[in-house]
Chains A and B, each alone.
Chain A
Amino acid sequence: GENVEQHPSTLSVQEGDSAVIKCTYSDSASNYFPWYKQELGKRPQLIIDIRSNVGEKKDQRIAVTLNKTAKHFSLHITETQPEDSAVYFCAAFGGSQGNLIFGKGTKLSVKP
């Protein structure tokens, strides 16, 4: 079945810097890759997603890239702000399983 690896597990950046979180997946049939942000004590919330027919997608300060050949996808946050501090989860969907498989999460800390 699908397996999703996420790195790094923790990331600390200065306000205004960029942050990059990387994920790899194992099932080449996976076709949908969402990213969720979870603030402390709250629910995971979808922040951006990408499908396998697209290589890159942007939404203001957030972008996601997908490399199907290498089976990895990344989240890029530019001009980070303290409110970006949270745990970020990547996920992959499709292939032989009819459900999302989540990475273990990255705790991002943005220092003012």
Chain B
Amino acid sequence: DAGVIQSPRHEVTEMGQEVTLRCKPISGHDYLFWYRQTMMRGLELLIYFNNNVPIDDSGMPEDRFSAKMPNASFSTLKIQPSEPRDSAVYFCASSFGTAYSNQPQHFGDGTRLSIL
């Protein structure tokens, strides 16, 4: 298995622009998670999906952030408009589980986002 695949690996853009991060989970996994990692705040859960349905988006910082999962093999995280404080590494992770997924989460390589 190729693991969780994220694209792009690096993104540099100017503030105000729309940013789209992409994730392909491991085939067969029914949970997908988006995290943001910064030195100051550590690893933060933004949102997670179960069977393509958003379950908890309480970690999404503002209305500028949105996430979708149109099918079992693809998810996007969008920031519009982007701001310098959004600069971080964004990780996608997936896992397989039942009602409460107490199974290991497997992380992608992340997208390093820099907003100038």
Mark interface residues in B87-115 (1 if CB within 8 Å of A CB, else 0): 00001000000011111111111100000
Report chain A residues within 8 Å CB of B12: none
Contacts of B48 in A (CB 8 A): 98-99
- Inter-chain contact B42/A105, CB cutoff 8 Å: yes
Q: Report if A98-B43 is in contact (Cβ < 8 Å); known contacts: A42-B109, A44-B91.
A: no
Provide the bound-state CA to CA distance between A46 and B26, in Å: 15
Interface of A is mostly: strand
Q: Give the Cβ gap from B56 to chain A, nearest Cβ, in Å.
A: 6
B77 within 8 A of A: no
Judge if B60 is at the interface, Cβ distance under 8 Å.
no
A-B contact count (CB 8 A): 50
Taking residues whose C-beta sits less than 8 angstroms from the other chain, chain B's interface range is 20 to 34
Instruction: Report A76 CB to chain B, min CB distance, Å.
Output: 20
B110 touches A43 (CB 8 A): yes
**Closest chain A CB from B106 CB (angstroms):** 7
Q: Are B105 and A100 in contact (CB under 8 A)?
A: yes
Q: Is the CB of B102 within 8 A of A102?
A: no
Knowing A43-B91, A104-B42, A105-B42, the reply to whether A98 touches B100 (Cβ < 8 A) is: yes
Residues of chain B whose beta carbon lies under 8 Å from any beta carbon of chain A? 33, 42-43, 45, 48, 50, 55-56, 91, 99-110
